Amino acid sequence: MRIALSVSEKEKARGADSPYLKALQAVGVTPEQIDLLTEADSGRARAKDYDGILFTGGKDVNPKCYDEPIKYRELVSVDDARDAFEFEMLDQALKERIPILGICRGIQMINVKLGGTLYQDLNNDLPVEYEHRQFGPRSDAAHSVVLTEPQSALAEAFTGNCRVNSLHHQAIKHLGRGLKKTAYSEDGLCEAIESADDYPFLLAVQWHPEEMVDHPEQRKIFEQFVAKCREAAMRRG
């Protein structure tokens, strides 16, 4: 089994200290089974060489990718090279029906690639103040999310609602094609999406479960993803 983690250059530099890497190791994945990929791997990395892809957090998706100008230049920080690399890897992964997990930027990137849009800054784009920020340690819970789809992958992790952390200033505005919302925050924002069809596994969340992997419901997200990756590896032989 091989799993690709699409990360920022800064995250890759953390190496074994990456919380994403640690979360996968906590559910039985060895370091040798994980490749940390960045936009520098564009043209070399191929989704079909992997049994699963995890799209991680990082800079904002450029609003031009959903036909908007950057409205708040002091707040919106983009990485065009990473956008292009991840869009291509996502395209390849979907064609090969490879298990996909998205976290924070990951959920936003997936949504945009499939035709959706984002709020560029929650506190500026919405009529009320939204506090999707972390004031304590990244492992602390900041708010609740509510499950909307009992027949979903996320429903295997928790029922009803659970507490999550929150480290984002953007969020899904309009949902992309072929996706369904499976959880929302207590203030109404989309917090989780999944494939609306019979895709083997596509789950993306707005929070950071890798920072809360000691919590059973957050650990379950990684267990589900890895189980599907193992199934994909067995099919490949």
Enzyme catalytic residues:
104, 208, 210
Query: Taking Cα atoms as reference points, which of 232, 211, 159 lies closest to residue 17?
Result: 211
Cβ atoms of 226 and 24 within 8 Å: the answer is: yes
Helices (H), the chain: 9-14, 19-26, 80-96, 105-113, 122-125, 216-236
- The alpha carbon dihedral of 220, 225, 231, 233 has a sign of negative
Distance from C-alpha of 105 to C-alpha of 203, rounded to nearest angstrom: 13
Which residues, 6 or more positions from 114, have their beta carbon under 8 angstroms from its beta carbon? Answer: 176, 177, 178, 179
Q: Parallel, antiparallel, or unpaired: how do β-strands 171-172 and 179-185 relate?
A: unpaired
Rounded to 5°, the CA angle 176-196-160 comes to 100
SS3 (DSSP) at 186: coil
Q: Based on the number of CB atoms within 10 Å of its own CB, is 95 exposed (0-12), middle (13-18) or buried (19 or more)? A: exposed
